[in-house]
Amino acid sequence: MNAAIEKSPAYWLPFTANRDFRKKPRVISGASGHYYTTVGGAKLYDTFSGLWTSGLGHCHPKIVEAVQQQVAKLDYCMGFQVTNDRALELAERVTGMAPKALTHCFFTNSGSESVDTALKIALGYHRARGEGNRTRLIGRERAYHGVNFGGMSVGGIVPNRKVFSANLIPGVDHIRHTHDLEHNAFTRGLPAWGAHLADDLERLCGLHDGSNIAAVIVEPVAGSTGVLPPPVGYLERLREICDRHGILLIFDEVIAAFGRLAKPFGAQRFGVTPDIITTAKGLTNGVMPMGAVLVRDDIYDAFMQGPEYMIELFHGYTYSGHPVAASAGLATMQVYDDEGTFEQAAALEQHFEDLLHSFADHKHVIDVRNFGLMGCIEMAPRDGAPGARGAEVHKKCFWEENLVVRNGMDGLQFSPFLNSDPDEMTRSFETIRRVIDTIE
Ligand code: PXG
Ligand code: PLP
């Protein structure tokens, strides 16, 4: 590739230090299985499955084939008033894998759109039932719910919000996050301490009166902030408080769904059923942009009033239910089934946990957290330069070790392939150990 183009500023990269990036651009031009290829011809092992997206590996032949066939057969069709066969089939397939109560599926193009869709459905549902006073939305500190105004407002990642502080949507509050190094550092799996933090929701019900709250949204395992598994009993307690006050519980499973927690949905892993689930990423193995919002039967039914010729929910995207994306989704679900992907994921968990926790003795490491195939090794920030250690590990791994490692500040985050080879996984962590040893 032309080096001038690599360094050209035309492309404004998302969530990236653009000026630093331009100095030495990291550009991928191919991928296969568990490896990327760069424009320079290097072959890199991917420890993050895309961006939590591609659990089956890159360019899975069955998905590639489905997309190729579909794009030649029906590339696009109007999604309002008319639909396509693939979208209908995928809705059926995905609700068929979901907790029984969740029977309807609304398609979007991303996790951010899924979140904003879910919040709108929650508000519309209460209004349709004559409880239009239920307008307040509750999120949680440190949550990531995408970057659109709704998701950003219920989200709790400070740098994502601070520039827009005066423009966040009104009527939003946050419960406390569940991270506490003093009690939970180096926990394997779910922390035993912290279920009581769910009672923060009860506090907000006291403050606002629960009858004014429409919905609570949480990631069952917080991902983007650096993997915070819920304390034992925490999600159950949230469910119970929501039930007591008539509040809808939304699980944002953009990361958790489709095998990351060795089940179709995190809700099933935890045995806690929310009223709405948001998804994206693993829905198509990252191959096409697509998200889905799953809702309970009676939420859908509440909208089905008024004259039958009239639209019930004034919401949708040009590309909702896109036939090529839906064909990728269908092929992805088929591969999950055929290859026993969720069982493969379950079988990798212990090995992954052991590898992560082998870093507990490292001088830079202050915490290790994991659940399912989500993991984080958190390094102490260097004095006066928070984030520098993480960025150095990322760049050294990329340029010197042919390894893609995702850092969020000084946390190294891991989202291994659901069908990882255990030896490859071991080698990737050996490399990371070597790299961390070399940094200051
Ligand atoms: N909700 C959750 C729980 C997510 O993890 C979104 C919503 C937004 O999805 P879209 O498709 O609009 O990006 C996400 C996305 C990271 C990282 O480094 C994670 C995400 C996005 C960017 C970075 O962990 N998750
Ligand atoms: N802006 C304009 C001018 C549009 O016409 C549309 C869709 O028709 C949108 C924004 C929304 O785009 P999308 O449906 O892809 O989210």
What mean pLDDT is reported for the chain? 97
Rounded to whole angstroms, how far apart are CA atoms 311 and 288?
A: 28
Q: Please tell me the total count of domains within the chain.
A: 2
Which one-letter amino acid corresponds to residue 304? Answer: M
How far, in Å, is the centroid of ligand 1 from the Cα of 160? 12
Query: 147 pLDDT exceeds 90?
Result: yes
Tokens of 348: 């990798």
Residue 120 CB burial class (10 angstroms; 0-12, 13-18, ≥19): middle
pLDDT (tens digit, 9 = 90+) per residue, 215-257? Answer: 999 999 999 999 999 999 999 999 999 999 999 999 999 999 9
318 lines ligand 2 (CB under 6 A): yes
Ligand 1 centroid from CA 53, angstroms: 10
- For the cut 80, the answer to whether the pLDDT of residue 432 exceeds it is yes
pTM: 0.96
Q: For residue range 295-348, what is the model confidence (pLDDT) as tens digits?
A: 999 999 999 999 999 999 999 999 999 999 999 999 999 999 999 999 999 999
- Nearest by Cα to 34 from 413, 418, 412: 418
- Furthest CA-CA distance within the chain: 68
- Quote the ligand 2 centre to 316 CA distance (angstroms): 10
User: How far is CA 304 from each of CA 52, 133, 135, 230, 307, rounded to the nearest angstrom?
Assistant: 35, 20, 20, 35, 9
**Both tokens assigned to 65:** 């084939």
CA–CA dist 414, 49 (Å, integer): 8
Give the CATH number for residue 166: 3.40.640.10
Atom of ligand 1 nearest to the CA of 256: 3
Across 3-31, average pLDDT: 94
- The conformation of residue 102, written as its DSSP 8-state character, comes to E
Grade residue 4 by pLDDT with cuts at 50, 70 and 90: confident
202, 384 in Cβ contact below 8 A?
A: no
How close is the Cα of 314 to the center of ligand 2, in Å?
14
What mean pLDDT is predicted for residues 400-409? 97
Ligand 1: distance of its center to the CA of 415 in Å?
13
Q: Tell how far the Cα of 318 is from the centroid of ligand 2, in angstroms.
A: 7
Do residues 266 and 133 both lie within one domain?
yes
pLDDT mean over 398-409: 97
Give dist(CA 401, CA 176) in Å, integer: 39
239 with 270, same domain: the answer is yes
| Together in a domain, 398 and 360 | yes
Q: Whose CA is nearest to atom 3 of ligand 1?
A: 254
Helices (H), 246-367: 266-270, 297-303, 323-339, 341-357
Write down the pLDDT at residue 366: 98
Instruction: Look up residue 153 and give its DSSP letter.
Output: H
What is the number of alpha carbons within 13 Å of residue 74 lying toward its C-beta? 16
Q: Which ligand is nearest to the CA of 224?
A: 1
For 274, residues 6+ apart whose C-beta sits below 8 A from its C-beta are 239, 249, 250, 251, 267
Ligand nearest to the CA of 289: 1
Q: Which residues contact 54 (CB under 8 A, 6 or more apart)?
A: 46, 285, 286, 287, 417
Q: What distance in Å separates the CA atoms of residue 299 and residue 128, rounded to the nearest whole number?
A: 9
Residue 140 pairs with which residues in a beta bridge?
Answer: 175
Crossing angle between the packed helical segments 61-73 and 323-339, to the nearest 10 degrees: 150
157: Cβ contacts below 8 Å, ≥ 6 apart: 142, 143, 144, 224, 225
Ligand showing the shortest atom-to-Cα distance for residue 79:
2
Same domain, 308 and 428: no
Say if residues 357 and 186 touch (Cβ distance below 8 Å). Answer: yes
Same domain, 282 and 310: yes
Per-residue pLDDT at 1 exceeds 80:
no
- Cα distance between the two ends of the chain: 34
User: Domain range spanning residue 355?
Assistant: 3-60+340-438
Where is the domain boundary, 288, 305, 339?
Answer: 339
Amino acid at 93: R
Q: Which tokens sit at 384? A: 């006066």
Instruction: List the structure tokens of 57.
Output: 């590996």
CATH number at residue 371: 3.90.1150.10
Q: How confident is the model at residue 2 (pLDDT cuts 50, 70, 90)?
A: confident
> Does residue 353 share a domain with residue 333?
no
Same domain, 43 and 177: no
Same-domain pairing of 44 and 118 = no
For the residues 379-387, what does the mean pLDDT come to? 97
Query: 176 near 141, Cβ under 8 Å?
Result: yes
Average pLDDT over residues 9-38: 96
What tokens were used for 141? Answer: 């500190």
Proportion of the chain above pLDDT 90, given as a percent: 98
**pLDDT tens-place string over residues 78-113:** 999 999 999 999 999 999 999 999 999 999 999 999
Query: pLDDT per residue over 160-203, tens digit each?
Result: 999 999 999 999 999 999 999 999 999 999 999 999 999 999 99
> Of 294, 321, 339, which one is at a domain's C-terminal end?
339
Residue nearest to atom 8 of ligand 2 (CA): 318
State if residue 251 touches ligand 2 by the CB under 6 angstroms criterion. Answer: no
Q: How far is the CA of 130 from the centre of ligand 1 (A)?
A: 33
302 and 366 both lie in a single domain: no
Q: Which two tokens stand for residue 362?
A: 């490292």
Residue-level length of the chain: 440
Three-state SS annotation for 10-31: CCCCCCCCHHHHHHCCCCEEEE
Shared-domain flag, residues 344 and 421: yes
Q: What is the pLDDT of residue 212?
A: 98
- Asked if pLDDT for residue 3 goes beyond 90, the answer is no
Residue 319 CB less than 6 A away from ligand 2: yes
Site to substitute for ligand 1 among 144, 219, 405, 413, most atoms within 8 A of C-beta: 144
Query: Are 254 and 290 in contact, with CB atoms under 8 Å apart?
Result: no
Residue written as tokens 């009527």? 171
pLDDT per residue as tens digits for the range 411-423: 999 999 999 999 9
Averaged pLDDT, 144-172: 98
pLDDT mean over 138-158: 98
Residue at which a domain ends, from 287, 309, 339: 339
pLDDT band at residue 7 using 50, 70 and 90 as cut-offs: confident
Return d(Cα 303, Cα 300) in angstroms, integer. 6
* CA–CA dist 51, 352 (Å, integer): 18
Whether 297 and 382 map to the same domain: the answer is no
Whether 23 and 167 map to the same domain: the answer is no
